[in-house]
Amino acid sequence: MSVSELRCFDAVARSLNFSRAARLLGRTQPNVTMQVARLEKRYGLELFHRRRGGAVTLTDIGARLQIVTRQLLMLEEDATSLLESAGRLTTGHLRVGSIAPRSATRYLSAFRARYPEIEVSLAFGNSASVLEDVLACRIDVGILGGHGDHVECEAQVLSEPEIVLLTNTVHPAAARGTLSREQFAQETLLLREPGSETRDLVLARMDEMDYRPRAVIEIGSREGVSAAAAVGLGIAAVSAEEMEPSPSARILRFADFAVSGVIHAVCLKRRLDTQLIRAFFAVVKLADSTPQ
């Protein structure tokens, strides 16, 4: 059976007249008659008792079928309404992944102000895991460091934050704010886990400039390296954009070079025309062009 046959049956069942059903559907009366007759012939039964003048009454099986077709066609109407509402961005769910709260909340706040009826969820991870979630369609948009050149992704640059060294207020270098190569050689460097863009950028630049710490401790989160630096376990490489203000923290920089990252918003290229994703990128562009 086809949906068209069921739709014709339902229209006749509601109007109890083939001509009125045809007008209801915007079809010709012969077409409606043919669709219903085809349905009856396929299953070898009568759905209507025909009367003179085009009037009909439902058979027992016809009455039972009408209950089903009403439910089916109402669900079809609900599906159409849902899709049309989503197209107008009056319903839906935008899933965002980010490397840090501060990297995402500004844009999500602007998006929610523009589209208050859209549900939003936010998850966190390092750059590699956020990108993996984008590629696997577990999230719609990722906000992450680097990875803007992935062949499957469309990327929009959000910022180019400086990467600094975080320490506590009693560190000997806290007052001067810099570490020379010789001074850095006496330090313990606290690094994020593999997959962190901050980690990769700092290590690459240190290798290029021949900066070697006395020791390296790997800690599996941004919050972890920051907390370890605060208690004097070492100095932590962090993005200045992602640092939480703290009276016990001080920023150090390498004496001979600077390190910067790039924060991107990324999505799959094949999903860029999805209404929600396109709307989010438009809000990001507007937010970045608005003075803060």
Do 131 and 189 share a domain, yes or no?
no
Sequence-ordered list of residues with C-beta below 8 angstroms from that of 239, at least 6 positions apart, any chain: 100, 145, 161, 162, 163, 164, 198, 261
Do 67 and 155 share a domain, yes or no?
no
Do 188 and 229 share a domain, yes or no?
yes
* pLDDT 10s digits, 4-16: 999 999 999 999 9
Q: How many CB atoms lie within 10 A of CB 187?
A: 21
Q: Residue 289: pLDDT band by 50, 70, 90 thresholds?
A: low
- What is the C-alpha separation between 11 and 9, in angstroms, rounded? 6
Do 224 and 136 share a domain, yes or no?
no
Do 178 and 244 share a domain, yes or no?
yes
Do 75 and 27 share a domain, yes or no?
yes
Do 271 and 146 share a domain, yes or no?
yes
pTM of the model: 0.67
Would the pLDDT of 178 be above 60? yes
For residue 22, list its beta bridge partners: none
Would the pLDDT of 270 be above 70? yes
Sequence-ordered list of residues with C-beta below 8 angstroms from that of 285, at least 6 positions apart, any chain: 156
Q: What's the mean pLDDT in 156-167?
A: 91
Do 131 and 148 share a domain, yes or no?
yes
Q: What is the pLDDT of residue 195?
A: 84
Which tokens hold the place of 184? 């850095």
Q: What is the pLDDT of residue 243?
A: 76
Do 119 and 190 share a domain, yes or no?
no
Do 143 and 272 share a domain, yes or no?
yes
| pLDDT, mean over the chain | 89
Do 182 and 245 share a domain, yes or no?
yes
* pLDDT 10s digits, 179-233: 999 999 999 999 988 888 889 999 999 999 999 999 999 998 888 998 999 888 9
Q: What is the pLDDT of residue 5?
A: 94
Q: Residue 175: pLDDT band by 50, 70, 90 thresholds?
A: confident
Determine what percent of the chain is predicted with pLDDT higher than 70: 97
Q: What's the mean pLDDT in 167-177?
A: 89
Q: Report in angstroms the alpha-carbon separations of 267 from 95, 98, 106, 139, 141.
A: 11, 12, 18, 9, 5
Domain that holds residue 215: 162-260
At 155, which CATH number? 3.40.190.10
At 40, which CATH number? 1.10.10.10
Q: Of 273, 259, 262, nearest to 148 (Cα)?
A: 262
Name which of 36-40, 61-65, 164-168, 285-289 the model is least confident about.
285-289
Do 109 and 176 share a domain, yes or no?
no
Would the pLDDT of 257 be above 70? yes
Output helix, strand, coil percentages for the chain, rounded to the nearest 5.
Answer: 45, 25, 30
Q: Which of 39, 56, 87 is the last residue of a domain?
A: 87
* pLDDT 10s digits, 82-136: 777 777 788 889 999 998 888 788 899 999 999 999 999 999 998 899 999 999 9
Q: How many independent structural domains does the chain possess?
A: 3
* pLDDT 10s digits, 38-80: 999 999 999 999 987 778 999 999 999 999 998 888 888 877 7
Q: What is the pLDDT of residue 79?
A: 78
Q: Is the Cβ–Cβ distance between 110 and 85 less than 8 Å? A: no
Q: Which of 62, 87, 112 is the last residue of a domain?
A: 87
Which tokens hold the place of 289? 């062009």
